[in-house]
Amino acid sequence: MQERFVGRSGLSVSRVGLGTASWGRDTDEHEAADILRTYLDAGGTLIDTAASYGAGASEAVVGQLLAEHRRDDVVVVSKAGSGVPHGRPGTSRGAMLASLDQSLARLGTDHLDLWLVQGWDPRVPVDESLGALEYAVSTGRTRYVGVSNYTGWQTAYAHTRQALRDSGAPIVATEVEYSLLARQPEREVMPAAEALGFGVLAWSALGRGVLTGKYRYGIPSDSRAASDHLSGFVDPYLDPDARLVVEAVCRAAEGLQLSPVEVALAWARDRPGVASALIGPRTAAQLKAALSVEEVTLPAEIAEALDDVSAEAM
């Protein structure tokens, strides 16, 4: 699998990243082991997790499975700052650093490759959160730092404050939801990232699974949309506007003799500024189907047609 640098940093990651939000809850350790093995065998390197995923369950499974592989072969990304632990804002220095140490213990490693603030908290001065990132770098707990789910102005403001601090721990990445069904980052976040030299990690590059086409004729009983705790995550992309985009993806796939997964993932992966498109397969079979995208490059006219349809729908 080909790799790209994350923005203007020296950190390189595979063009398709492996999301693990469901590990330890909807995906058990045995299926997760098959998924990870399939991903690494294909040359994938980026493993994305967070302290908030399953209240640490995802990190615990990732750590258990990575013990069987060479640490240097993977880029481990995790996040802190989501929720309000013990009554404290999640992005406070104390909460961030405590969360980081817990993440490292669960992952069975002495460092992360990339550590992200998972969300903006208006109650906490951004300099305090940035100070936690700086301390993590200076103490060797992480190699690089970034932000996640920030708006455009929040991204630019955090960069400005970090630059003024001249700490030697610059923000190198922003992770945001981005797909043919979620193009809002193009308005501000992605232009800001390009101007500031950040790499974009696009989470849910398959539109929360909807761009696979699995919901064209109903809701499969084994799908996320049929799950009590995940249906609310998928429902926003089951509206008429989203259906227009899904049908366009499926028609393009038929014409190109590809799968909808390959078309939608290739589109997101190859957008300007995207360092890696993240997917969260529930099975190794789903992952294998997605990884065939490595050989796919969309014709320019198809990519432009999808741009037009999804822009109109959004």
Confidence at residue 223, expressed as pLDDT on a 0 to 100 scale: 72
Confidence at residue 161, expressed as pLDDT on a 0 to 100 scale: 94
* pTM value > 0.85: yes
What are the DSSP E strand ranges found in the chain? 3-5, 12-14, 16-19, 46-48, 75-80, 112-117, 142-148, 171-177, 199-203, 274-279
Residue 176, domain CATH? 3.20.20.100
Low-confidence ranges of the chain (pLDDT < 50): 85
In a domain, 224, yes or no: no
- To the nearest 10°, report the CA torsion of 266, 271, 273, 275: 0
Confidence at residue 314, expressed as pLDDT on a 0 to 100 scale: 55
In a domain, 280, yes or no: yes
Confidence at residue 233, expressed as pLDDT on a 0 to 100 scale: 79
Catalytic residue among 39, 53, 150, 178: 53
Task: Using the structure block, give the residue that is written with the tokens 């390959």.
Answer: 262
Confidence at residue 82, expressed as pLDDT on a 0 to 100 scale: 78
Q: Tell me the one-letter amino acid at 262.
A: E
In a domain, 137, yes or no: yes
Supply the range of the domain harboring residue 23: 3-209+261-299
- Answer yes or no: 217 catalytic: no
Q: In whole angstroms, what is the distance from residue 205 CA to residue 268 CA?
A: 6
In a domain, 256, yes or no: no
In a domain, 186, yes or no: yes
What is the CA 65 to chain-centroid distance, rounded?
A: 20
In a domain, 95, yes or no: yes
Confidence at residue 167, expressed as pLDDT on a 0 to 100 scale: 81
In a domain, 128, yes or no: yes
In the chain, the number of structural domains is 1
Confidence at residue 10, expressed as pLDDT on a 0 to 100 scale: 97
Q: What is the mean pLDDT of the chain?
A: 93
In a domain, 119, yes or no: yes
Name residue 203's beta-bridge partners: 177
